[in-house]
Amino acid sequence: MSRAVLSIGSNIGDRLAHLRSVVEALGSRTVAVSAVYSTAPWGGVEQEDFLNAVVVAEDPSFGPRDWLLLGQELEAAAERVRIQRWGPRSLDVDVVSCTGADGHDVCSTDPELTLPHPRAHLRAFVLVPWLDVEPDAVLTADGVTRPIADWCAGLDAAERDGVHRTDHTLTGPTG
């Protein structure tokens, strides 16, 4: 079995429909879906705010690369165009972490799929929704393993305060 934590975001077009497309594509693999959050763009590029969420999914036949390929397929279906780093996008699907059949977190330094995600611990738009669905989760970053609640608490208050829960919901189980 493989379990993945996916961070999803959109700030172009029907943002909510783009996020829902991920949950719909995951179908029965969906274990938990966070609330939907509105967040300011990250990375210094002027653009519209994002809608973000976290989805936890499981599939016994999937490995980490399968989660990556599925995310890329969903981005392509949403007509994702990679023009500018941290620029606007119809859909962004990031594999934040992956747990293997042995129950251990998968570590990878592959430039195409670094696991756990190398910047997840710095991003409130990932950590806050993740807390919704897995409040006891831990994340390893820079060789340090800490609860995601601790990583989140260590962020600048303005970063955390910039993540606003919305009334939007995504189809699927809730955590």
Q: What are the tens digits of pLDDT across the range 13-66?
A: 999 999 999 999 999 999 999 999 999 886 666 778 999 999 999 999 998 999
pLDDT of residue 23: 96
pLDDT of residue 174: 43
Which residue bears the tokens 């690369």?
A: 65
> Does position 172 have pLDDT exceeding 50, yes or no?
no
CA distance 132 to 175: 7
CA distance 77 to 166: 25
pTM of the model: 0.90
Q: What are the tens digits of pLDDT across the range 98-147?
A: 988 787 787 887 878 878 888 999 999 999 999 999 999 999 998 899 99
pLDDT of residue 18: 95
> Does position 88 have pLDDT exceeding 90, yes or no?
no
SS (H, E, C) the chain: CEEEEEEEEECCCCHHHHHHHHHHHHHHHEEEECCCEEECCCCCCCCCCEEEEEEEEEECCCCHHHHHHHHHHHHHHCCCCCCCCCCCCCCEEEEEEEECCCCCECCEEECCEEECCCCHHHCHHHHHHHHHHCCCCEEEECCEEEEHHHHHHCCCHHHHHCEEECCCCCCCCEC
The angle, 0 to 180 degrees and rounded to 10, between the axes of the packed helices 15-26 and 64-77 is 140
pLDDT of residue 173: 46
- For each of the domains in the chain, give its residue range(s) and CATH number, in order of start: 2-165 (3.30.70.560)
Token pair, residue 18, equals 């783009």
According to DSSP, the β-strands at 163-165 and 37-39 are: antiparallel
pLDDT of residue 45: 66
pLDDT of residue 35: 96
